[in-house]
Structure 1
């Protein structure tokens, strides 16, 4: 997730930051075949990754996945959810952000979290992605435009997402969640409220106006503000 802000001359005692948020694509399994709706269940994936049940239980305890899920509004993770390549869902979220706005893409992202983590559906299934988008955006065309976009053999948006993923590694980001503030500060998802306050105070003092991911992804909501 990238946050961009600029310095605002708000007087004390209530200085305020004006910022926008953009979702940055990241692949947990970048080598998954993206030509199939799903590859395996998440349980199968994690058992292989952590060497069996014992290793998986230890990781769940260490990372407090249940607690973090509840904090994010996900009361129950479906451990048998369908794991897949996520390029289509990333393309969709970025497309909606550009065409309809960041608020709409954020709402779609939230709904896709429930669709995948709770309902257990695959993020590479076109039919499912179209249905969710219709519901979120209240589309009246049956999702025809969305389906056409996702099925386009030229895969519009793929290049930008690949460049953004490359940039995450250049910035030393190899896991999620992380917060990138103005291309200058990087905070992990485990950061405390105090850590965020420290960064925001620094931004308020020095300014921060380099939304690197917005530039790579070509998000107009950011670009319009930068060019003012």
Structure 2
């Protein structure tokens, strides 16, 4: 089974959805021998964000229609995170970054580093309040993940390596009508959006299994 996941690195629901998906796949694998692979794709919730980023509180207050509503949304997000053992320290976030560079780094990472790198980027932003729009911060995260060729990686990123793959993801997302993330595509046939619970993902997997049997 191939699972394509479109996500943005400043999307808390993408972080929740990723964790729940992988938990569901671990449980599914206990009773199913079919191997699976997850392919991570770039999406930008706000591609108009300048490279230097914007003030997080100002952006989110305007988007949510006021500080009171923003507080409610943050509280709801934090509770959803706690339900699946994820911490969101939103009070530490100062900037709403442009996420292109973070997607570029993920595209450049060897396969064995992609998942820990994505986890590291999420933690850096949502728990530590680090500015993941900055190249130096991203290279620090790559080093923390175990990627030991940081000087070469810096040159690659400065030269634009990996951006073609990111642009292909963004263009394909637009072509197939993705307007929000997380967005999941199973076996290039079945798709849905939103951060399901592990049980929700398992129901989707059962449905796919039934449909595949019908079409066999």
Q: Is the 8 A contact 1:81 1:119 kept in 2?
A: no
Q: CA RMSD in A?
A: 2.5
Question: Aligned equivalents of 1:26 and 1:73: distance in 2?
Answer: 25
* SS of 1:18 mapped into structure 2: coil
Structure 2 unaligned spans of 5+: 5-29
Partner of 1:16: 33
Q: CA deviation at 1:193?
A: 4.0
Q: CA deviation at 1:192?
A: 4.3
Q: Show structure 1 runs of 4+ deviating over 6 A.
A: none
1:162-204 CA distance string (max 9 Å, x none): 2212222333322222222122122333434454234323444
More helix by share: 2
Residues paired across the two proteins, number: 185
Aligned equivalent of 2:105, options 67, 92, 109: 92
Aligned equivalent of 2:57, options 34, 37, 43: 43
Q: What TM-score do you get using the length of structure 2 for normalisation?
A: 0.74
Q: Is the 8 A contact 1:180 1:187 kept in 2?
A: yes
Q: Which has the larger radius of gyration?
A: 1
Aligned equivalent of 1:78, options 90, 99, 106: 90
Question: Aligned equivalents of 2:199 and 2:81: distance in 1?
Answer: 21
Q: Is the 8 A contact 2:190 2:208 kept in 1?
A: no
Aligned counterparts, 1:207-222, within 5 A: none
Q: CA deviation at 1:129?
A: 0.9
The answer on 1:104 being equivalent to 2:89 is no
Structure 1 unaligned spans of 5+: 5-12, 208-228
Q: What TM-score do you get using the length of structure 1 for normalisation?
A: 0.71
Higher relative contact order (CA 8 A, sep 6+): 2
Q: Is the 8 A contact 1:69 1:77 kept in 2?
A: no
The answer on 1:25 being equivalent to 2:42 is yes
Question: Aligned equivalents of 2:167 and 2:81: distance in 1?
Answer: 27
